[in-house]
Structure 1
Amino acid sequence: MINKVILIGRLGQDPECRVSNNNVAVANLNLATTNYSQNKEDTDWHRVVLFSKQAELAKQYLKKGSMVYIEGRIKYSSYTNKEGIKIPTTDIIADKMQFISSKSAEPQEPAGNNNVSKPDIEDIPF
């Protein structure tokens, strides 16, 4: 049987990072993906969990608006809240993560020589 998820989306907030009781780095990402159909745009939110080195990299490099590629598996679980009600959860446990870009990533002009003009074709000696 196969349990495989592939997502590309943007972070809705900075990663939530912590260290577990077993001294393992853990990062939680809220990842938005967008679906388009019949002139309609629909956004889904996914809770992605990263461990160890991936969690450390997420903490260091990701922020709200960052675009990432995630491969992982779905994990269904639940917890009991303060009122004693069982709350179901759905997490994506990431096996692979790749940084795609940040929201503010814009093409930039190359540094230096910005004021150099192109030579006139008449000035080129042939």
Structure 2
Amino acid sequence: MSLNVVTLVGRVGGDPDVKYFESGSVKCRLTLAVNRQTRNSDQPDWFNLELWGKQADVAANYVRKGSLIGVKGSLKFDAWVDRNTGANRTSPIVVVERLQLLGSKRDSEGGSSGGSDTPGYEDDF
């Protein structure tokens, strides 16, 4: 048996990077900061996210830097050879299967933070 499940809740580090392909596919990349509590302060862990299809469309239209989101997906590793050094490199990426918008509509408009006060805004896409 094998299991590869990642569940994260955090704030988006920048506006979505969206690419549309001639085939009709849509790909979106995001960074997500998730606070890790330590004795002295909260330290963010940064995750690279990759979304495809409808999830990518939703992220492109509704997610902005600072948005509070929840994601569920699986972990994969991109691998490449560094052009300058010739060294093999890898980067972990969370491939998102489920996106949940957790902040309020006011959050996305730069208002105060809090829970969702718009019906359907917290729905899964």
The match for 1:90 is 92
Is 86-95 or 75-84 further displaced after alignment? 75-84
What SS does structure 2 have at the residue aligned with 1:96? strand
What SS does structure 1 have at the residue aligned with 2:3? coil
What SS does structure 2 have at the residue aligned with 1:54? helix
What letter matches 2:96 in structure 1? A
Query: Where does the alignment leave 5 or more consecutive residues of structure 2 unmatched?
Result: 114-125
Q: Percent identity?
A: 25
Is 63-72 or 18-27 further displaced after alignment? 18-27
Q: Normalising by the residue count of structure 2, what TM-score does the alignment of the two structures yield?
A: 0.78
What letter matches 1:42 in structure 2? Q
1:20 shift after superposition = 4.0
What SS does structure 1 have at the residue aligned with 2:15? coil
CA distances 1:10-54 after superposition (whole Å, capped 9, x unpaired):
011001110246431000010000011223321100001000011
Q: List, as ranges, runs of 4+ consecutive aligned residues in structure 1 with deviation greater than 3 Å.
A: 20-23
CA distances 1:39-84 after superposition (whole Å, capped 9, x unpaired):
3321100001000011011011111000100000111231123223
Q: Normalising by the residue count of structure 1, what TM-score does the alignment of the two structures yield?
A: 0.77
